[in-house]
Amino acid sequence: MGLTIREIRDNCIKARHLMQRSRQQHFAVGAFNVDNQETLIAICRAAQNKNSPVLVEVSHGEVEAIGLENIRDMVDNYKKDYGIEVFINLDHSPSVEDAKRGIDAGFEFIHIDISQANHEASDEEIIEKTKQVVEYAKFTGALVESEPHYFGGSSNLHNENIDYEEIKKTFSTPEGAKKFVEATGIDTFAAAIGNLHGKYNVPKELDLDLLARIRKEIDCNISLHGGSGTPGHFFEEAARIGVSKVNINSDLRIAFRETLETELDKHPDEFAVMKLMEEVKKALQSVVEEKIDMFGSAGKAVI
């Protein structure tokens, strides 16, 4: 059905208010990836049960699978059905054009990630294209997120160990964060402090001292990508320091697949797979509720 420009702008104002509340009240908002309706329902159920604000997010591949307008309509429909505070984030948009399409579709949060499509993109190219998205987003008021370099890993289950000495080479720095935020005018800085896309066979470790130094240097929101597989105490402290958004994908994908495999094994003669999905949704809801508790956002929704 789509939204009017007035509705889009009103939603973006509310999204900005949410980020302000997160900073003032020291909680983070979970941004949960979806690539199917069952995951979306589970996120909405968790948000309702915990009275928590949430972000539903889609990356480029998920957009191609579902469609921008379809995602907008589905989220709006379930937002009404469940009576929740929910917004949409376009995650890792690889180009200016793709980011603009997300803005046009009424997404409240836009993550422009030029280095995702081109790992060798120059600083100048990343800054210039990020500025183009920031300028375009002024029409609706959408919040723009970005980072100055490629962020490693993938939203999958990794069996290799984490080489922190190598990863530290791509950590954000307070000086670099400040320079990038001032050059681009972004609303949200995606910090790299030990967070890494995907889930590994060892827990991730976040450099919270580095996060605190970055927080002192920039006034905009801070997000953490690659939140899956991270012990909860890191998130609790990160929210206290001033992180406003944490991305979760792999933990949901793993719970989805493992639970569905179990249900398929338990019901070998059932070919109407939709009849097996309730247990999957329950497992996903449990994951989301666990993250909400970690992030401190339970009871923080404003409807």
Catalytic residues: 91
Q: CA dist 229 to 155, 196, 201, 240, Å?
A: 11, 9, 9, 20
Q: Which amino acid is at 237?
A: E
Residue 21: count of CB within 10 angstroms of its CB: 18
CB-based burial label for 67 (10 Å; 0-12, 13-18, 19+): middle
Q: CA dist 190 to 50, 129, 142, 144, 297, Å?
A: 26, 16, 16, 10, 19
Q: CA dist 231 to 54, 194, 210, Å?
A: 20, 12, 18
CA separation for the pair 157, 154 (Å, rounded):
8
Residue 255: count of CB within 10 angstroms of its CB: 20
Contacts for 43-46: CB closer than 8 Å, 24+ residues apart: 43/86, 43/284, 43/285, 43/288, 44/78, 44/79, 44/81, 44/82, 44/84, 44/86, 45/82, 45/281, 45/285, 46/285, 46/288, 46/289, 46/292
Per the rule left: phi > 0, alpha: psi between -120 and 50, beta: everything else, 229 is left
CA separation for the pair 85, 141 (Å, rounded):
18
Q: Detail the DSSP E strand segments found in 170-224.
A: 188-191, 197-199, 221-224
Q: Which amino acid is at 91?
A: D
